[in-house]
Amino acid sequence: MEVNESLDRLLPEAAMHPSSLHRAMRYSILAGGKRIRPVMCILVSEASGGVGRDFAVRAGCAIECVHTASLILDDLPSMDDAELRRGRKTTHREFSEATAILASIGLLNLGYAIITQSQDTDPEVKVQALDVLCEAVGSKGMIAGQEIDLHERHGFSEVSPIENLNWLKTGALFVASAQIGALAAGLNPSSVDAVKDFAKHVGLAFQTADDLIDHSGDIDAIGKDVGQDEGVPTLVSLSGDDAARLSCEENLALAHDTLRKTDLDSAGLLALVDSIFGSKI
């Protein structure tokens, strides 16, 4: 798969000193994973003819670095204290807690470096892409989401703060992936808005589907700890399975509608959605 091959090339070699750090970085990111975010970024760039595709591949890999960095942190003893991720031991259990934290920062930083070091890309496009990524990661994005998840979520009794949390933890990086693909391709503002809207709905559906799986609990199917949200409010626990499944379907329908209204070639993006959700809901 193109994304995996690119990641393999972009990551420092395992033997590079200090090897423990570089092995941990490679272990975490090359463990598998569906690569939904980079694939979305690349497919958005293809949907208008493929201009900027090379940058979209690099930026997609950068986004996957950022995403993996967040997974390593979420799994730490001081956070979710998880044992399994992507079907094998979490990074801090395979290496050490300190090495896991440093590997996470290493991946985040590598993500930014992959964008700055892209050849043949307009510096203005790189700066815009980095800005989008920083917003999605930052203390008003994923980092805020993780802090709220750890320290506030247990008190939530309504759907609205849970939806906000899902947006911060999942939606923001989905939308950033589509937006960066659109920047790579130089899409016009209304098309940029459309693919962001598409990604927002896909992200919401994805998070809801994830909660449904965690709730139904099949560890072999998803390769990470399940039942971790037990006793923690989620869309599923607050609204029930049926309402969550309905919300998921509604978001997927909205995602389709959004693309249909553009002049983009959306076949690839729609196929991506089918491949993600075909087996999930």
Q: Which residues bind its own copies (CB under 8 A)?
A: 12, 16-18, 20-22, 25, 73, 76, 78-79, 96-99, 101-102, 104-106, 108-110, 112-113, 116-117, 122-124, 126-127, 130-131, 134-135, 137-140, 143-144, 146-148, 150-152
As measured in angstroms, the least distance from the Cβ of 116 to its own copies is 4
| E strands, the chain, in order | 84-85, 88-89
As measured in angstroms, the least distance from the Cβ of 253 to its own copies is 31
As measured in angstroms, the least distance from the Cβ of 254 to its own copies is 27
CB neighbour list of residue 127: distance below 8 Å, 6 or more residues apart? none
List, in sequence order, every residue forming a beta bridge with 248; answer none if it has no partner.
none
- Residue closer to its own copies by CB (options 143, 222) is 143
Burial class (CB within 10 angstroms; exposed 0-12, middle 13-18, buried 19+) of 36? buried
- Residue closer to its own copies by CB (options 103, 202) is 103
The answer to whether 77 and 69 have CB atoms below 8 angstroms apart is no
Cα(142)–Cα(136) distance, rounded to whole angstroms? 6
As measured in angstroms, the least distance from the Cβ of 54 to its own copies is 17
- Residue closer to its own copies by CB (options 110, 264) is 110
Cα(266)–Cα(272) distance, rounded to whole angstroms? 10
Cα(58)–Cα(86) distance, rounded to whole angstroms? 22
- Residue closer to its own copies by CB (options 108, 276) is 108
List, in sequence order, every residue forming a beta bridge with 89; answer none if it has no partner.
84
As measured in angstroms, the least distance from the Cβ of 150 to its own copies is 5
- Residue closer to its own copies by CB (options 123, 231) is 123
- Residue closer to its own copies by CB (options 18, 32) is 18
Radius of gyration of the chain (CA): 18
As measured in angstroms, the least distance from the Cβ of 161 to its own copies is 10
H or E segment to which residue 147 belongs: helix 142-151
